[in-house]
């Protein structure tokens, strides 16, 4: 690796406008990617991981300009760029977002993409050899025999046979098609490969073979790879570093083994807990993320993860078990948004079905506490008094007053936004818990569940 990164992404954003009315006026935007930054060194594999819908694939397609970014920079320093690439009008830049058509075509010789579903990536009426060789023809190689020789050699590199050149996509299994997709990505000898969930559609046994092949090809060709996945166990097998993405933002980025050994963001910790383990002696507790899943069209203020965070911070005036504090905030959010249907709950409790209101207020309040994982009595007297009064207002059909009372429960996590800050060598995270604190799992101020 050299000191200069091959790819530098700076404050990249991709927002999709939301339009309404006859005139299609824009009334908002879905912030699929909302200001991410990272570098990929030459010969490095960076994993971009997160739940479905967090913006990983949109980030990939924006980097390679399959979609136009809303703003930000994508700086590419491939071989032969000499820091800049000259456009037809004489201007120079190495920012992919500013490339004209000629520059973009040249860039796509150096940066290729592998998609999740290889079956949809090939023309069923074209042999796989012709599909791969087509890229060479588009980029100026007129010698048909030379094109064929290059493709046949690549098919051997990915574990297939040169004779497969004249076969059609339907003749191959899913794993074989992904090998063919790898060959197609490599045929132009790129510097960068972006792999978007390349093994998620494959069986576990085939997945291991493809991951091993990716490692082998990276070493052979000196590739840099942006590897996108929702599965941290896959990321661990192939990546040098990991960037964890949540709701359009990167919340943690660090060397892979450091992320596994010492996660510095609660979301990363939750993702790690979801990795299956075959060891029956393992006593690791799975983390269930509760609370409201926010929308990219209306992301919450402050830390975007606070609506689901199992370690959301309590203000100094309260002293509650952490799970009860999470449940209290979840209940608050549901009441404030008006989605707690007390009448429906009352009808569900009326097992007689005679239409008479035989459900007591005490039974109704008990059911609401049970539904939202709230104890019969909170350990903090002040918090319990506020909650009890809010429940009284709810069962009396005074939702506005109940929402007003519950809104007094606030967390520092929703009041300001944490920034990515250093947590050690090449380790950054955006979480108030770990700013100037011990590692996340040992933070002294966290209350036990």
Give the pLDDT band of residue 441 (cuts 50, 70, 90). Answer: very low
Cα separations in angstroms, 294 against 218, 300, 335: 37, 7, 16
* Rounded distance between C-alpha atoms, residue 9 and residue 41, angstroms: 12
DSSP for 260-302? HHS--SHHHHHHHHTS----TT--PPPPP--S----TTSPPSS
Q: Which two tokens stand for residue 232?
A: 């941290």
Confidence (pLDDT) at 439: 44
The yes or no reply on domain 7-19+28-123+173-239 and CATH 3.40.50.300 is yes
**Least confident among 180-184, 303-307, 333-337, 421-425:** 421-425
Return the closest-CA partner of residue 59 out of 301, 296, 305, 223: 296
Within its chain, how far is the Cα of 192 from the centroid?
20
Give the pLDDT band of residue 69 (cuts 50, 70, 90). Answer: very high
Confidence (pLDDT) at 382: 96
Q: What is the pLDDT of residues 260-318, one digit of tens each?
A: 999 999 999 999 998 877 666 666 678 889 888 899 999 999 999 999 999 999 999 99
Q: Would residue 65 be called left, alpha or beta, if left means φ above 0 and alpha means ψ between -120 and 50 degrees?
A: left
Cβ count within 10 A of residue 289: 18
For 198, residues 6+ apart whose C-beta sits below 8 A from its C-beta are: 114, 115, 116, 178, 181, 182, 210, 214, 227
Return the closest-CA partner of residue 368 out of 394, 389, 347: 394
* Rounded distance between C-alpha atoms, residue 263 and residue 429, angstroms: 9
Confidence (pLDDT) at 334: 95
Q: What is the pLDDT of residues 11-38, one digit of tens each?
A: 999 999 998 888 788 888 999 999 999 9
Report the helix count and the strand count for the chain, using DSSP H and E: 14, 13
**Least confident among 15-29, 147-161, 195-209, 347-361:** 347-361
Give the pLDDT band of residue 444 (cuts 50, 70, 90). Answer: very low
Residue the block writes with tokens 């690439």: 85
Return the closest-CA partner of residue 51 out of 355, 227, 271: 271
Confidence (pLDDT) at 198: 87
| Mean pLDDT value across residues 42-58 | 94
Percent of the chain's residues with pLDDT above 70: 90
Domain boundaries, the chain: 7-19+28-123+173-239, 322-410
């Amino acid at each position: 690796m050299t000191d200069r990164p091959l790819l530098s992404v700076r404050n990249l954003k991709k927002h999709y406008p939301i339009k309404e009315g006859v005139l299609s006026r824009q009334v908002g935007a879905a912030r699929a990617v909302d200001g991410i930054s990272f570098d990929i060194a030459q010969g490095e594999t960076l994993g971009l991981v997160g739940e479905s819908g967090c913006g990983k694939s949109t980030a990939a397609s924006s980097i390679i300009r399959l979609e136009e970014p809303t703003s930000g920079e994508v700086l590419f320093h491939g071989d032969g760029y000499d820091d800049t690439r000259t456009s037809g009008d004489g201007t120079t830049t190495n920012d992919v977002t500013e490339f004209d058509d000629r520059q973009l075509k040249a860039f796509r010789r150096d940066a290729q993409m592998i998609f999740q579903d290889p079956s949809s990536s090939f023309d069923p009426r074209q042999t796989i050899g012709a599909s791969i060789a087509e890229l060479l023809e588009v980029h100026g190689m007129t010698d048909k025999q030379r094109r064929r020789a290059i493709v046949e050699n690549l098919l051997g590199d990915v574990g297939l046979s040169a004779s497969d050149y004249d076969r059609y996509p339907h003749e191959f299994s899913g794993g074989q098609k992904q090998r063919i997709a790898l060959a197609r990505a490599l045929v132009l000898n790129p510097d960068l490969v972006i792999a978007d969930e390349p093994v998620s559609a494959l069986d576990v046994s085939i997945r291991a073979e493809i991951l091993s092949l990716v490692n082998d090809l990276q070493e052979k060709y000196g590739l840099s790879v942006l590897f996108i996945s929702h599965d941290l166990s896959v990321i661990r097998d192939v990546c040098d570093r990991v960037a964890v993405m949540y709701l359009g933002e990167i919340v943690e980025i660090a060397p892979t083994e450091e992320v596994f050994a010492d996660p510095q963001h609660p979301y990363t910790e939750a993702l790690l807990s979801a990795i299956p383990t075959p060891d029956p002696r393992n006593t690791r507790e799975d983390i269930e993320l509760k609370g409201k899943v926010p929308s990219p069209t209306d992301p919450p203020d402050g830390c975007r993860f606070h609506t689901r965070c199992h370690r959301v911070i309590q203000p100094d005036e309260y002293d509650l078990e952490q799970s009860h504090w999470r449940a209290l905030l979840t209940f608050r959010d549901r009441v404030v948004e008006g989605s707690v249907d007390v009448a429906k709950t009352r009808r569900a409790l009326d097992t007689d079905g005679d239409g008479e209101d035989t459900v007591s207020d005490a039974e109704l309040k008990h059911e609401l506490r049970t539904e939202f994982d709230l104890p019969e009595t909170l350990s903090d007297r002040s918090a319990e008094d506020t909650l009890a009064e809010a429940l009284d207002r709810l069962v009396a059909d005074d939702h506005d007053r109940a929402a007003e009372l519950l809104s007094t429960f606030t967390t520092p996590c929703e009041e300001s936004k944490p920034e990515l800050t250093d947590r050690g060598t090449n380790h950054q995270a955006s979480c108030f818990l770990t700013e100037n604190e011990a590692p996340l799992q040992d933070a002294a101020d966290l209350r036990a569940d």
